[in-house]
Each structure stands twice: as C-alpha cells, then as structure tokens.
Amino acid sequence: MCGIFGLISRNKLLSVDKDLNILKHRGPDSFGSIEYASRNGQQFTRLAHRRLSIIDLSEAANQPMERADLNLSVTFNGEIYNYLELRKELSNKGFSFQTTSDTEIILVGYYCYKERILDKLRGMFAFAIYDMNNGSVFLARDRVGKKPLYYYFKDNIFIFASEIKAILTQNQIDQTYDHVALNKYLQFGYIAAPETIYKNVFSLKAAHFIFFENFKININRYWRINYKTKLAITKVDEVALQLSDIFDQSVKIRMLAADVPVGAFLSGGIDSSAVVAFASKYTDKLKTFSIKFNHSSFDESQYASMIAKKFNTEHFQFTVDAGASFVELLPEIAWHYDQPYADSSALPTYFLSKKTSEHVKVVLSGDGGDESFVGYERYLAHILSEKYELLPNIIKIVIQKLGEGLWSTEPKTFLYRLKRMIQYVSNRDSFERYFKTIQYFNNEDLKLLRSNSVAEKISYADCSNIFSEIQADINLEKIIGFDFEKYLPDDLLVKVDRASMAHSLEVRSPFLDHKLVEFAASIPLGIKFSKYRLKYLLKHHMLKDVLERKILFRPKMGFGVPIHSWFKNELYSYAKEVLMDGTFSQNFNFNKVYIEKLLSDHKNSRSNNSNKLWTLLMLGLWYDRCAGSVR
C-alpha cells in the first residue's frame, strides 16, 4: 500500500509539498519523486510516491520506478497477487527484471500489453504510467474500487493523487465546493464517484482507466459484473465445493503475496470467521484482531474469541470503554476522509486499524461477502416486497395500518426493524423503494434543512440509469449490482482504505477477488438465497463443516457503534456545539431551527434522528478541519 501523486502542467512545476508528507501515513517507509520535461518544453510532469513496503522490501523496489530501456515509469498503490505468474509469462516473452516486486510487473506488462494488462491483473490497484516517448499518462483503478484515485483537470493543469488533500496542496487549484454533491452526501452519507465535494476534483470510478495525452483526457471502462450468464451446474453441493476452492485460492494468494506477516480482522461474523478459518491453513500462528464494546447490542467479542480459539490464532482484543473514547477521534477522522463521510462504522474501523497497526502491516478482512452472497436484510425485504404485491388489497391495508401503529426509536429492536420492513414492502416500485430506503435525508427533509435556492431535488432518476446498465435479468440482482457500483466502492471501501491507511495498515479482502466475484455472480440466485434465508449457500453448504452453528446462524449485527444512544448522552453536547454554530449553518444555508428540532426530538425519544445528526456532525467537522479555504 502506498500514496501516489502526479502533476502535469504547461508551466514549470511547483515542488511536491514537503516530500509529500501530507500522504506519509499511506507510505512511511520511503519517498521518491521524478520530474520530466518534454522535448518541446510545452509539458512538465512530476511523479511522486510514498511507500509502505510489503513485497520486495529492498530499495530497488522504491518508487516512482523507472525503466529507461522501456521509456516508462510508474507510481503504484496496491498489490498484484498473481505477480509471480505474470513475471513468468513475461519472462517467457524475453523480458528481464531488476527487482522481485509486483510494481515492475505492471511496468513491463504495460509495455507488452498496453491497457490489456488490466485484464491480467489480480489484485487491488491505482497506478499511473508515464510514457517518456510522447508524454502521455495511463492511469487505472482496480475492478471493484479498493484503491482510490482522484484527479483535477483545469487550465492546463492535470493532477492526480491517492487522496484529495494531496491535490489541494497546489495553490492554483479551484476549491469551490459543489452544492449538488453536498445534497447527495446529505441523502446517502457519502459522495459517489465521479463526483466529490469539490466541483473540479473527481474520483476515477472503479474498473475505469484514463488515457491522458496532449492535455486531453479520455476515460474508459474495462470490466463489469455479468449476472446474466449462469452456471450450468445446479446441484448446491457441487457449487459449494467449487466456490470453496476459489475462496481458498483467494485467501491463499493474499496470505503468501507478502514479505511481511499477514494478520486478520475478526469480528466474529460469518465473513471474517470464514477468512480466518481458511487463512489459518497457511500460517502456524495467525494474528487476529477484534474490538470489545461495552454496549451489548454491538458487542461480538465472545464470537470472535470462539473463532480465535477454534483456529488457534494469536488473538488481540481491544476494549472501548465508552462513546467518549471515540468522540476524541472524530476531528482526526474527518481530516483523513477529505470530504464529508457519514458511515459511522468508520469509527470502530479507524480505532481497530490504529491498534492493529501496532502488531502487523497487513490484515485480511471479510468485506464483500454480503454483496456477493445476499447477506443484507434489505435484500430479504426486496423479496418480501415482491410477495407483498401478490396479496389482496385488504390484507395490504391491514399490514400498512399495523406498520403505522408500531412505535420504536430504538434500532436493532424487533419493533423498529418490523416497522422499517413494512415501510419498505409498501412502496410499489422495486428500485425506487430501494432508493428511498438507503436515504438519510429525503427531498422533503432537504427542503426543511436548506434554503430553496440550494436544496436542489435529487430524483430517483439519478440512480435509475445505473440500474438499467447492470447486466442482470432479476430485480434483486440489479439491486446487488447497484451496491457493487456505488455503495461498496464509494462507502464501504472508502471507509476501509482511509481508516486503515491512516495508520499505514494494508487491508486485503478475499471476498472481493474479481474471480470470486465473477463466480458468485454466475451462481443462480435460488442457490445463494433460498427459502428466505440470507447467505444460504455459505451457511448451509460451503461453511457448514467449517464453522459452528452458533456462528453460522446467529443474527447479523454489523460493525457499528451505538450512535443512537450517544446522541442522547455523551455526544449530545458535543454535537449541539458543532451543529448550532452560526458559521456552520450560514456556510451551507442550513435552518438552525430544524437542526435544533432534530437534536431535541432525538434526545427526547420522539424520533430516531441518529443518522441525520451523524451526517450533519461529520459535515461540520469536515468543514472545520478541511474546508477553511473552500469558497
């Protein structure tokens, strides 16, 4: 894992800010920078790199890496797990190598195959390759978006970097923020690529590449999940056996492709437990890491300990005493995320990464299991809603009245979840139903929060085009595909990347191996999800002889924190101080009376406004830490 940076301009380049120290957390082991001037003096290019050494720890593998014989240089963030296989393939074509790194594989592979090298790479990556012959730059991002890549292009200045903060170090950058992007953040808690909070800074979407030449930019897509082509075999046990083999290989290559020890996050849930179970085959003593919460509704530590004992891992459990312990981290987290970000699970992820980094440089995680194997309750709600449509109208009316009569503001309780389920199934349009379910602030809320001049309506049509492009015939698979397009790369994987790299920790995700993702997409839905049982294939077949029933069939908890409780207690005063500040409301045209009502209604249990309040709080902290120069 590393931090990359590049700047191309028609004028003499500015220096890279303090040896790119602003990205030192991503790569504390070394810094490198190379500058190129075109023969006609019309273009100046600088590549820079901060390195976290994982594969080939020698100085020869430092970056930017240049191969003068190929007229190419590269700055690369990520890991290529099949680099030894590709090295052999390229060696057979007559190419020689100066290092044992995966970085050089990308460089030589690009020389040999050009953009088609992307089809051969198995791993996570964001990189830029400079061609000394013509001054062009080729940039690419991995298939599912595990590694970030941002860019700015205006007034003959092209800048790219692993994080937005590195781009903003250049004084010429237009830092005007985008009101429409801000509204999308308020609705969903994150800003999806290609947009960012800044009008002129963009995020390269997952599975895309950029070809930059003569100050023109061309963006293309090179990979997409296909849910339409299904496996010929339909026997569940045969599918489970084949899946197990692919998953085992995915874990194995992530364990072995490293010159440093590899550990694993262990929450005690199905996905992280499966990763630990398979990983333990490839090391004598796997180190595992988990958090113990003092809030029972969120604490899974007993299950993590059970798995650690079963697979004989060296287990580290970090205890969080109270919300106050986390509150101190919030301004720090806001800085690392560069733009407003409201997934509260970033907090425990950040804390766990900080503690884990004291023991290892690399960990495995269970990210991606829910998307590929139908693990979210909202997927179950979608299936139920389709059944709901078949009911007689009188029964629908009774169910809706029942939902209106239910009252609970406490998340994770049966009544609260039942009410949300009824609200979900009552909406007739499949995709609009899903769209509304994942919102924090809907359009009516935005009108109350912001002035009419800036509360531009975000319509379902903004998402419907994505649904139409997903290669699937079944509505639920289109919804899962939407999560792969937006929620996974722009929320979950942003969370993991920033939280881990803030502490120079690399996270590898076996469930997100593209070969496993492609295989999972080819499995008939009825095998992955059967008889209203989420993760049916994993629970009842692939893992039935690997994990205990206590792990397989316990309720899903998720890696969250009790913000609902915190906003009534230890977080209330802190949030009120940030949100009721006059400067904050003026900068975003917010209605202070409405915000005060959100706080009051939540504290007095009149409504559950925890997600709305958290979204506003993280916006306020981002503005305080990152947006002082924003115009």
Within 10 A of 160 (CB to CB), how many other CB atoms are there?
A: 26
Place of tokens 């690392």: 336
Phi, psi of 6 (to 5 degrees): -150, 150
Burial class of residue 116 (count of CB atoms within 10 Å of its CB; 0-12, 13-18, 19+) = exposed
pLDDT of residue 40: 74
Per-residue pLDDT reduced to its tens digit, 389-419: 777 777 766 667 666 666 555 665 655 665 5
Domains of the chain by start residue, with CATH = 2-221 (3.60.20.10), 236-373+481-552 (3.40.50.620), 560-631 (no CATH)
**Per-residue pLDDT at 120:** 98
Neighbours of 396 (CB within 10 A): 15
Residue type, 567: F
Q: How far apart are CA 619 and CA 331, in angstroms?
A: 11
Among positive and negative, which fits the CA dihedral 352, 354, 360, 361?
positive
Residue 471 contacts residue 224 (beta carbons within 8 Å): yes
Phi, psi of 96 (to 5 degrees): -110, 165
pLDDT of residue 625: 83
What's the start-to-end Cα distance of the chain, in Å?
A: 33
pLDDT of 296 reads 65
Note the pTM of the prediction, 2 decimals.
Answer: 0.93
Q: What's the sign of the alpha-carbon dihedral 504, 505, 511, 515? A: positive
Q: Of 2, 112, 463, 626, which is the active-site residue? A: 2
Q: Within 10 A of 349 (CB to CB), how many other CB atoms are there? A: 24
List CB contacts of 466: < 8 A, sequence separation 6 or more: 482, 485, 486
Please report, for residues 148, 435, 473, 564, the alpha-carbon distance to residue 145 in angstroms, rounded to integers and kept in the order given.
7, 22, 24, 30
In this structure, is the dihedral angle defined by the CA atoms of residues 614, 615, 620 and 625, taken in order, positive or negative?
Answer: positive
| Separation of alpha carbons 477 and 462, rounded Å | 19
- Catalytic residue flag (residue 2): yes
The structure tokens listed for 263 are: 């550990």
Cα–Cα distance measured from residue 403 to residue 381, given in angstroms and rounded to the nearest whole number: 14
Q: How far apart are alpha carbons 167 and 148 in whole angstroms?
A: 13
Six-digit token string for 158: 């092209």
Q: Give the tokens for residue 346.
A: 């970033």
pLDDT of 571 reads 87
Angular region, 268: left φ>0, alpha ψ -120 to 50, beta rest: left
Intervals of the chain under pLDDT 50: 629-631
Q: Are strands 201-203 and 123-131 parallel, antiparallel or unpaired?
A: unpaired
**CA–CA distance, 304 with 166 (Å, rounded to integer):** 37
